[in-house]
Structure 1
């Protein structure tokens, strides 16, 4: 009897361990040559975490960062990931790439050539940004959409989970919202139409609460500029920083204004435009509004390339 209980306990522990390891980045038990062949077959890049057993930040990455579900979803989709001890099977790699810092992160193409190198401790959100920058390097000729070309996600489509920090430094996760969600894209605190619209949205607060619906504002601006949005509009809704435009890209509302428009904004607004966003590309989101159900499916949208035209409060309420 005791023997059966013991084996049953061991089986449960094995299943539990396996389940825990199914979240986050899935590191494969392969050598570099095997990884190169698989990367070519699956059209992926190669990510190598080069660690040592005595390295504190290495252990923290393994414990705190790599298990993150969103990070895992992104890396498992785009990379063949290897976890290699630099002082054992990874000695040749350390020598080839002249590694002196740990943990070291090697991002290689399908031929084993270096695409990007990084090192040190990063949290999940920071490391996700690194992974995204690697993909951008892989696709330098990726077409940047104009305002006429961007179409926005349509009703009926399901949006992948995303996370972002709000003005309270709290993490918003779409998949954690077990209710309807209204997502409002704004261009920034420098846009008077955006500010006026945010002020008007506050009138929806009682109705949203009664209908178990959450409204979230999505801004491409850094936290210090989002503070200006809060100050100008006195909004009590969560305002998310869309770092690197990840959310805008998910909804296909991201575009680059034509040069004369960019020149006008930069000359007229100065640092409020140039330094407010993740980069200097000048990209902006269409001022769209989306309503998603509890399963992250779009049930309604207002998409108008004209930033002066916004979803009416009446139309939003009709869809809830």
Structure 2
């Protein structure tokens, strides 16, 4: 089953109150409202797109090792995915799907890196629980996400829901009080620093299948031959 179908199936089960979350029905209205407001704001339209130059960055992984985009691009094209956090089941399913596609990406000469605003401890949990073999980097405060045009602030009513119903206090999980997140996004950046592929969706429950990245990487590989 492709990733979009897996995510849709999970959402149907979650909104029906199924396990393991057994969520009460009333929580869905504020979650849907927040997503609709983010869509209506056209925030995704302001994010970087294919043809734009990608900003350079240097971020630490869970062990504190710094990863510079310049060093990653020196090895080949960079697949960059922005990830909300280990608390988000949709994001975890996304990471797992990317891990499955990792051998194909590497065969095409690409590096894969995820970026999340969460603390190093939560990043270690992400790596462990999702069994990923690629770095997850900590973008505390979403500074790099801001430069890609992805950073947004959760509305007050959603902050209250996360903190008091889901017991997910992002000020603790992310180690800073801004209550910001990145819109989920995937980028393919060529070795020239130009974005060759961009996918940004303000609806965090929807993600394309990683197979979409492969033709882009094949074109970049052919251009280097």
TM-score band (shorter)? 0.7 to 0.9
Aligned twin of 2:117? 220
The equivalences for 1:246-257 within 5 A come to: 246-257=143-154
Deviations 1:38-84 (A, max 9, x none): xxxxxxxxxxxxxxxxxxxxxxxxxxxxxxxxxxxxxxxxxxxxxxx
1:281 equivalent in structure 2: 178
Question: 1:189 deviation in Å?
Answer: 0.5
TM-score by length of 1: 0.52
* Distance in 2 of aligned mates of 1:190 and 1:169: 21
Are 1:312 and 2:186 counterparts? no
The count of corresponding residues between Structure 1 and Structure 2 is 175
- Whether 2:102 is the aligned partner of 1:208: answer no
Contact 1:155–1:300 under 8 Å retained in 2: yes
Distance between the aligned counterparts of 1:282 and 1:305, measured in 2? 16
Query: CA RMSD of the aligned region, Å?
Result: 1.5
Correspondences of 1:39-188 after superposition (within 5 Å): 147=38, 148-150=41-43, 151-177=46-72, 178=74, 179-188=76-85
Match of 1:89 in 2: none
- Kept in 2, the 8 Å contact 1:221–1:277? The answer is yes
Contact 1:292-1:300 at 8 Å conserved across structures:
yes
Contact 1:190/1:272 (CA < 8 Å) preserved in 2? no
Report deviation, 1:228.
Answer: 1.6
Larger RCO (CA within 8 A; separation ≥ 6): 2
1:297 Cα deviation from its structure 2 partner: 1.1
TM-score of the two chains, using structure 2 as the length reference: 0.73
Moved over 6 A (4+): none
SS of corresponding position for 2:136: strand
Distance 1:189 1:182 in 2: 20
CA distance in 1: counterparts of 2:165 and 2:120, whole angstroms: 22
1:302 aligned partner:
199
Partner of 1:24: none
| Higher helix fraction (1 or 2) | 2
8 Å Cα contact 2:189/2:196 also seen in 1: yes
Aligned to 1:231: 128
> What does residue 190 of structure 1 align with?
87
Note closer, same or farther for the CA distance 1:293–1:212 as it changes in structure 2 (3 Å cut). Answer: same
- Counterpart CA distance in 2 for 1:244 and 1:282 is 9
Secondary structure of the residue aligned to 1:246 is: helix
Q: Distance in 2 between matches of 1:278 and 1:299?
A: 33
| CA-to-aligned-CA distance 1:83-133 (integer Å, 9 cap, x gap) | xxxxxxxxxxxxxxxxxxxxxxxxxxxxxxxxxxxxxxxxxxxxxxxxxxx
What is the CA–CA distance in structure 2 between the aligned matches of 1:209 and 1:272, rounded to whole Å?
36
- Match of 1:229, SS state, is helix
Gaps of 5+ in 1: 1-145
